[in-house]
Amino acid sequence: MDNTTIELEARRAARHKMVEEAADLLRAGKLVAFPTETVYGLGADATNDQAVAAIFEVKGRPRFNPLIMHVVDLEQALAHGRFNRLALKLAETFMPGAMTLVVPRHPESDISLLATAGLDTVALRMPAHPLARALLRAAAVPVAAPSANKSGRVSPTCGRHVAEQLADEIALIIDAGVCRIGLESTIVSCIGDDPVLLRPGGIAREEIETAIGRRLRDAPPTSQPQAPGGLVSHYAPNARLRLNATNCQPGEALLAFGPGAPDCDGPVLNLSAAGELTQAAANLFAHLRELDAEECDVIAVMPIPEFGLGEAINDRLRRAAAPREC
Ligand code: TXA
Ligand code: MG
């Protein structure tokens, strides 16, 4: 072997080792930043509520927007989403690539409810970047990943941007230089019969319209303009929520937080007996659903502090308490 070959081999081996390490970290519930051809992602095991909660914590997001789940192939995508003919056509044409498809969530999917913000739909993306693909293959779990920046800052398109904002807070950054596209993926909703463009991105509308032979509808105006996803159908429980409850009335269920929950005759779940906001975030959607299934008219919710992830938890609770509004 000549020197160039030896060097290439050494680099390949180092990359392989880094990917294996990153996959181990993901499976252990840690956060890893990784390159895609659009922007860098801040990844967590999408099936791990705590790991997903850590994404929101590190990003400092005031709201739990649903995240994009990254998968390595169509088989994995089909395990988590239900693809109609149109979604299959789009997947066939644009995946892997800068395309994210929103489809109904597969009933057997074990993706964290926090990752999908409690929606019955899921956003799935299959990145084309070789390192992203190697990581997803090695991790063997779907990876939830928003862009790897602090909330309100622009998406990072090179490893250095990620390091500047997140180096101290996450387990590993896979630095592969500059992203080829540098703009987030295009998000298309394939929920109903008409495909809807939820977010323009790396693949142009015209290209998509040509591939499917029809126009894309635009996302309807939403009461949540800060979420480019055009989220009309927030998860709303059937039960009414009574927020900031310090006691529990007869017939009510209780969503508790911290030690010292009041007595309650009905079903009780605690978001975090230790009073930890990250744990509370991880449990939020799953607990709400579980209590809602008990069919009480009212779920009393104890006060949640309005700092850290508490802000996003309260935002969600307030929305769920006013369900018919959006
Ligand atoms: O290029 C990208 O898409 C990057 C890289 C890292 O893959 N990821 C990214 O993720 O931009 P994020 O989490 O920042 O974008 C999530 C977007 C939000 O606008 C959200 O509203 C939308 O996806 N979204 C996710 N799930 C959805 C759903 N079930 N219904 C509607 N919109 C959804
Ligand atoms: Mg972003």
- The CATH code of the domain that includes 313 is 3.40.50.11030
230: in domain = no
Per-residue pLDDT, averaged over 219-238, amounts to 52
Predicted pLDDT of residue 231: 44
Specify the residue with its C-alpha closest to ligand 1, atom 9.
Answer: 146
**Could you count the other beta carbons within 10 Å of the beta carbon of residue 296?**
19
* Residue at token pair 């088989």: 75
What is the rounded average pLDDT for all residues in the chain?
A: 90
Which ligand gives the minimal distance to the CA of 123? Answer: 1
CA of residue 68 to ligand 1 center, whole Å: 5
Is pLDDT at 10 greater than 70 in this prediction?
yes
| 67 plus 200 within the same structural domain | yes
Predicted pLDDT of residue 59: 93
The band of 226, judged by pLDDT with boundaries at 50, 70 and 90, is very low
Q: How far apart are CA 29 and CA 241, in angstroms?
A: 31
Is pLDDT at 224 greater than 50 in this prediction?
no
234: in domain = no
| 200 plus 60 within the same structural domain | yes
Q: How far apart are CA 127 and CA 123, in angstroms?
A: 13
Is pLDDT at 118 greater than 50 in this prediction?
yes
The band of 323, judged by pLDDT with boundaries at 50, 70 and 90, is low
Enclosing domain of residue 275: 240-321
| 90 plus 128 within the same structural domain | yes
The band of 258, judged by pLDDT with boundaries at 50, 70 and 90, is very high
The reply to whether ligand 1 has any atom less than 6 angstroms from the CB of 196 is no
225: in domain = no
Ligand 2 ion: Cβ-proximal residues, 5 Å cutoff:
147
Whole-structure pTM value? 0.85
Predicted pLDDT of residue 235: 54
The reply to whether ligand 1 has any atom less than 6 angstroms from the CB of 199 is yes
Is pLDDT at 223 greater than 80 in this prediction?
no
Specify the residue with its C-alpha closest to ligand 1, atom 14.
Answer: 146
CA of residue 293 to ligand 2 center, whole Å: 33
Q: Are 102 and 189 in contact (CB under 8 A)?
A: yes
Is pLDDT at 229 greater than 50 in this prediction?
no
Number of domains in the chain: 2
The band of 284, judged by pLDDT with boundaries at 50, 70 and 90, is confident
Q: Provide the percentage of residues in the chain whose pLDDT is more than 90.
A: 70
Q: Helices in the chain by DSSP H: which ranges? A: 3-27, 49-59, 74-80, 85-94, 130-139, 159-166, 205-212, 277-292, 310-321
* b (16+ CB within 10 A) / e for 80-109: bbbbeebbbbbbeebbbbbbbbbbbbbeeb
The reply to whether ligand 1 has any atom less than 6 angstroms from the CB of 198 is yes
Q: How far apart are CA 287 and CA 269, in angstroms?
A: 7
235: in domain = no
| 177 plus 244 within the same structural domain | no
Q: Are 148 and 166 in contact (CB under 8 A)?
A: yes
| 33 plus 80 within the same structural domain | yes
Predicted pLDDT of residue 221: 60
123: in domain = yes
Dump pLDDT digits (tens) for 78-113: 999 999 999 999 999 999 999 999 999 999 999 999
The reply to whether ligand 1 has any atom less than 6 angstroms from the CB of 146 is yes
| 15 plus 144 within the same structural domain | yes
* Residue at token pair 């990581």: 135
CA of residue 127 to ligand 2 center, whole Å: 16
Residue type, 179: C
